Amino acid sequence: MTAASIAKDLRAAIRSGTYKPGDRLPSEAALMSNYGVARMTARHGLSMLKDEGLTVTRHGSGVFVRSFEPIVRDSTGGKAGESTVTAEIDETGAGLVVRTLAVTAEAEPSEKIRTTLGLAEGDKVTVRERLHLRERKPVLFATSYLPAAIAAGTPIADQEVGPGGTHARLTEAGHAPVRFREDVVGRMPTIEEIEELRIEPGTPVLAVTRTAFTKDGSPVEVSHVVLDAGEFMLRYDID
Amino acid sequence: MTAASIAKDLRAAIRSGTYKPGDRLPSEAALMSNYGVARMTARHGLSMLKDEGLTVTRHGSGVFVRSFEPIVRDSTGGKAGESTVTAEIDETGAGLVVRTLAVTAEAEPSEKIRTTLGLAEGDKVTVRERLHLRERKPVLFATSYLPAAIAAGTPIADQEVGPGGTHARLTEAGHAPVRFREDVVGRMPTIEEIEELRIEPGTPVLAVTRTAFTKDGSPVEVSHVVLDAGEFMLRYDID
DNA sequence: GAGTGGTCTAGACCACTGC
DNA sequence: CAGTGGTCTAGACCACTCG
């Protein structure tokens, strides 16, 4: 029970404010002598806190208490005509930079995307991949799928969508998105996501599947958005 | 790099479908001989998968691939007049049982709750704690705070709120909630939450702060809801 | 009882950080 | 260069599961 009890003590100390965000915790060597345990045991105790997202370790430097200052992503507050995601970042998201990674005018959709968009077999989709950065750190990865029949040949299939973003182009093309559905799950990141978003150990991601519908109820866009849960809070205003 | 490469191999095998949800992975002993590593190394490789939420371990039995069949909680679909949370569970949530743990008619609010509810210093709140169970497993824990000036003396301060739940009582009292805000964060569970919700290692929680407002914009209820992210998907429909 | 995972020990060597 | 965390070894004993 020693590794667990070391974790328990440190956890209590963090919660009570003995160690504040940014503070350094006792080193492994210190814990070994304080508790009279082997190094692996001290390590295990510390690794529990890391897995809980309470601490971050810096190789060669120490174990530090973590802080959480989320960007608020207001999914309902975006002014019409702005780009899907940037409009949703409120003022605390200042300094957020969007980088378009790749745009594919015509791609074969997965079975799931195809049925969600209500496409026939053989129909193609336009795929847009974007990365959002906060102070140089990537924090959000988004992939959008639109029917190629709608998007191909428009600026949506270009690297630069133009002012107002994808939604403005869809509106111009007579497919104005007016209703949205967001499905949110929380889970641990995949290895790819850990690398892509440089996610700290012990940090989950929020995976949002956002579907945009036109007035007549037909889906015009499906977006998979993966957010570093250590960086974001999702806000929904509901009537 | 051996522990990491064991994890990598097994992860790939799970992703490719070699091991399906419910399947047992090779034992620690098998990995030791297959990879020629010490037991702690094999263990470490397996523990990575556990921390990613890919597997569950059953002491004395083995390591198994995990499955994810979420309950969809539709936050916007609840018919008016039903209780706040149960109304939000759609048909896949059948079998969901709500247990009221505690009701406190008059309690001292925390600073944060007090200001969110727009209360003056010294004002009391009514606190309701509820637990939701899915097939006997607790999956959601909710704590609601209402101004005692509104709730005390009404059935809201009773163990049984009556038909229609808290919102029906608020409406009767002339404080009908018409607008809601939900703030969603993902994080790893606290020890208390792990115990209370019997959360598997490697599973985050979704922490939802839900604020209900009346027509004139004054807040009448703040709820802190903690959901086992391994059990839920949150759905929001937005116009 | 054989096989499984859970925990701990006491060492080793390596890689990174900061004075 | 001293101190830090990252990884691995080769054992030990314990607790749980299942046939």
Distances in Å between the Cα of A152 and the Cα atoms of A54, A85, A127, A142, A147 are 46, 21, 10, 19, 8
Mark whether A132 and A183 lie in a shared domain.
Answer: yes
Q: CA of A134 vs C1' of D4, distance in Å?
A: 29
Q: CA of B187 vs C1' of D7, distance in Å?
A: 28
Averaged pLDDT, groups of 10, chain A, 239 residues long: 90 93 94 93 94 93 92 69 41 68 91 93 93 85 93 80 82 89 94 89 94 94 95 92
**pLDDT value at residue A94:** 55
Which residues of chain A make contact with B203, given a CB cutoff of 8 A?
Answer: 187-188
Distances in Å between the Cα of A61 and the Cα atoms of A20, A26, A28, A199 are 17, 11, 11, 19
Q: Which residue of B has its CA nearest to A76?
A: B238
Q: Are strands B137-147 and B125-134 parallel, antiparallel or unpaired?
A: antiparallel
Mark whether B114 and B202 lie in a shared domain.
Answer: yes
Mark whether A27 and A94 lie in a shared domain.
Answer: no
Please tell me which of the candidates B180, B187, B202 has its beta carbon nearest to residue A53. Answer: B187
B20 C-beta less than 7 Å away from strand D = no
B1 C-beta less than 7 Å away from strand C = no
CATH number at residue A56: 1.10.10.10
The answer to whether the CB of A227 falls within 8 A of the CB of A208 is yes
Within 59-78 of chain B, which residues have Cβ less than 7 Å from strand C? Answer: 59-63
**Helix or strand or coil: residue A209?**
strand
Which residues of chain B make contact with A228, given a CB cutoff of 8 A?
Answer: none
Chain B nearest-CA distance from A124, in A, is 25
Residue A57 CB coordination number (10 Å): 17
**pLDDT value at residue A86:** 43
**pLDDT value at residue A18:** 93
**Helix or strand or coil: residue A152?**
coil
Which CA-bearing residue is nearest the C1' of C5? Answer: B59
End of a domain among A40, A65, A90? Answer: A65
Alpha-carbon span B137 to B203, nearest angstrom: 15
Alpha-carbon span A110 to A119, nearest angstrom: 11
Q: CA of B3 vs C1' of D7, distance in Å?
A: 9
Give nearest nucleotide to B50 (CA–C1'): C5
Tokens of A94: 């200042």
**H-type alpha helices, chain A:** 2-16, 28-35, 39-51, 111-116, 148-151, 165-172, 191-196
**Helix or strand or coil: residue B161?**
coil
Average pLDDT, chain B: 87
Question: What contacts B80, CB < 8 A, 6 or more positions away?
Answer: B167
Q: For chain A, say whether B71 makes contact (Cβ under 8 Å).
A: no
What are the b/e assignments for B160-176, b being 16+ CB within 10 Å?
A: ebeebbbbbbbbeeebe
Please tell me which of the candidates B53, B189, B190 has its beta carbon nearest to residue A187. Answer: B53
Tokens of B113: 């709750």
| Separation of CA A204 from chain center | 9
Mark whether A148 and A204 lie in a shared domain.
Answer: yes
Task: Give A 176-215 residues with CB within 8 A of chain B.
Answer: 178-191, 201-206
Mark whether B48 and B164 lie in a shared domain.
Answer: no
Mark whether A185 and A102 lie in a shared domain.
Answer: yes
Mark whether A178 and A158 lie in a shared domain.
Answer: yes
How many independent structural domains does chain B possess? 2
**pLDDT value at residue A62:** 94
Q: For chain B, say whether A237 makes contact (Cβ under 8 Å).
A: yes
**H-type alpha helices, B79-216:** 111-116, 148-151, 165-172, 191-197
Question: Which amino acid appears at position B221 of this protein?
Answer: E
Q: CA of B188 vs C1' of D9, distance in Å?
A: 32
Tokens 């892509």 label which residue?
A196
**pLDDT value at residue A135:** 76
The answer to whether the CB of B14 falls within 8 A of the CB of B54 is yes
Chain B nearest-CA distance from A159, in A, is 28
CATH number at residue B220: 3.40.1410.10
In chain B, pLDDT over 70 holds for what percent of residues? Answer: 92
The answer to whether the CB of B107 falls within 8 A of the CB of B128 is no
**pLDDT value at residue B21:** 93
Query: Could A185 and B232 be called an inter-chain contact, meaning their C-beta atoms sit closer than 8 Å?
Result: yes
Q: Are strands A71-74 and A232-238 parallel, antiparallel or unpaired?
A: parallel
**pLDDT value at residue B95:** 65
**pLDDT value at residue A171:** 86
Mark whether A24 and A86 lie in a shared domain.
Answer: no
Mark whether A84 and A185 lie in a shared domain.
Answer: yes
Mark whether B183 and B98 lie in a shared domain.
Answer: yes
Mark whether B130 and B165 lie in a shared domain.
Answer: yes
Predicted confidence pLDDT, tens digits, chain B (239 residues): 789 999 999 999 999 999 999 999 999 999 999 999 999 999 999 999 999 999 999 999 999 999 998 889 988 754 333 334 443 444 445 567 888 889 998 899 999 999 999 999 999 999 999 998 887 788 899 999 999 998 888 888 778 877 778 888 888 888 899 999 999 999 999 988 998 888 988 899 999 999 999 999 999 999 999 999 999 999 999 98
**pLDDT value at residue B53:** 92
End of a domain among A36, A65, A94? Answer: A65
Please tell me which of the candidates A8, A235, A236 has its beta carbon nearest to residue B75. Answer: A236
Question: Which residue, among B34, B71, B182, has the nearest Cα to A234 in the 3D structure?
Answer: B182
Tokens of A180: 């949205």
End of a domain among B27, B43, B65? Answer: B65
Tokens of A85: 């995601």
For residue A27, report the phi and psi dihedrals to the nearest 5 degrees.
-75, 165
Tokens of B50: 């556990």
Mark whether B162 and B127 lie in a shared domain.
Answer: yes
Which CA-bearing residue is nearest the C1' of C7? Answer: A1
Chain A nearest-CA distance from B238, in A, is 5
Tokens of B83: 């209780």
Question: What contacts B37, CB < 8 A, 6 or more positions away?
Answer: B2, B3, B6, B31
Q: For chain B, say whether A239 makes contact (Cβ under 8 Å).
A: yes
Note every long-range contact of B70-73, with CB atoms under 8 Å and residues 24 or more positions apart, other chains counting.
B70/A185, B70/B231, B70/B232, B70/B233, B71/B96, B71/B134, B71/B139, B71/B231, B71/B232, B71/B233, B72/A183, B72/B232, B72/B233, B72/B235, B73/B227, B73/B232, B73/B233, B73/B234, B73/B235
Which residues of chain B make contact with A238, given a CB cutoff of 8 A?
Answer: 75-76, 179-182, 236
Which bases of strand D sit closer than 7 A to a protein CB? 3-12, 15-18
Q: Where in the sequence is the domain holding B158, given as residue range(s)?
A: 71-235
Which CA-bearing residue is nearest the C1' of C3? Answer: B60
| Separation of CA B154 from chain center | 28
Query: Could B239 and A190 be called an inter-chain contact, meaning their C-beta atoms sit closer than 8 Å?
Result: no
DSSP-assigned beta bridge partners for residue B57 = B63
Question: What contacts A98, CB < 8 A, 6 or more positions away?
Answer: A83, A85, A86, A130, A131, A132, A133
**pLDDT value at residue B157:** 79
**pLDDT value at residue B87:** 39
Tokens of A157: 């299939």
Please tell me which of the candidates B8, B180, B234 has its beta carbon nearest to residue A184. Answer: B234
Tokens of A194: 């850990």
